[in-house]
Structure 1
Amino acid sequence: MQIKNEIVKTGHFPSYASPTMFHVRDNLIFAMLNHEYGVKPWDAAEMTAATVRARAEMHKMVAGLRGLGGAWDGMQIVATAEQIGVRDGRRLAGRFTVTKDDVIQGSKHDDGVVQATFGVDVHATTADHNKDGSGHKASMDIKVKPYEIPLRAMIARDVDGLMMAGRCISGDFISHSSYRVTGNAVGMGEGAGVIGALAALSKRLPHEVPWSEGKAKLAEIRTV
């Protein structure tokens, strides 16, 4: 059973064209059913409005499915996320920018903090793209080779002392759709943390601390 087709039967086209459900236990399921588009994640009012719209759409879809009866009979919402998960927002202008070419070529670096392997996963960027399926076309033909995220991509180019980790590092749109996942963010956070600590303890700036020093310190910590 394709969940999207079931939702469409209710007269509503979901704002996420690839809705998915995961069985948790008993009759409890986890669902990914909707998206919001063009929302500025740094604007509290826009984020609030998007949250209200998203929750309203969830209730609309669940009510519609329940109305179909059968397997959906009695379906109800137990809880929704506390806040919207932001896929893409502002990104750092770093001392290195991870690009689509790095992803394709499997670039390696002397200051490689994380080896990323996740595929390029471009979701729709507008409601229209969601309907016509063009959101995923940008990523269909891109094959990822294991590539490294260098420390330089996590250090600001124009603001000394500023570091970032996770989705907000220095990268282009395509590479971001690969490195943005949680596992990579954890590794970047660990790397940024140890470099930041070494910089503070030695009264240096982050870009003055070589990754070899940070890597050695992480190895030391992990053996304790």
Structure 2
Amino acid sequence: MSNIKDNLGKVEQQIKNACLKSNICPSSVDLLAVSKTKPASDVELAYQAGQRLFGENYVQEAVEKISTLNSLTDIAWHFIGPIQSNKTKLIAEHFHWVQSVDRIKIMQRLNEQRPPELGKLNICLQINISGEESKSGAALNQLPALIQASKACSNLVLRGFMAIPEKGDANLSFEKMHQLFKQYQLEIPTIDTLSMGMSADMEQAIHHGSTMVRIGTAVFGSRN
């Protein structure tokens, strides 16, 4: 317990320091604890230490954890991994957020398969801001069509954007994402989330306007 609790405290302090360095209110940046490959017991320890937002990359593994911890009703589960068409139903039925939507087909399937009694599913559009072939995410020229398609999805709420920047060129990618975020915030009132920054580049991401950082190893230790 003490390790995860201590780790959370250190990361939260790092977020606070990065915010203060850039004259940003610390409460405007959320910590998403990335719990992929970690057991439900580790998530529960983080929960007991006050953490409420958790990110998962693998559907089957995540669904087992969500089911195990279903008594913790104020957890918000975020799906942050690549999405296969045959997994959209499970994602729509179990998660509160999906940050990795990058195709209209996936968006429409999530919309159709979201159980109405769960309320609307929050989504972020994942942008391949550096144009790397090895990365998931929509190209910039696909973004207007994705946003237009989201307006027809009555069971989804577009909350913002997610990105994984190119290594070595993070500042430029972060700045481009922030400009996109500000542009679309003016058009779409539900957009309030810019998810970017991980353990190695968290301070840079916060400086460039990230509202949510995705931190795994620094909270839970090395991957299993």
Normalized per residue, which structure has more strand?
2
Please indicate, yes or no, whether the TM-score normalized by the shorter chain is above 0.5: no
Superposition TM-score tier, normalisation by shorter sequence: under 0.3
Q: TM-score when scaled to structure 1?
A: 0.24
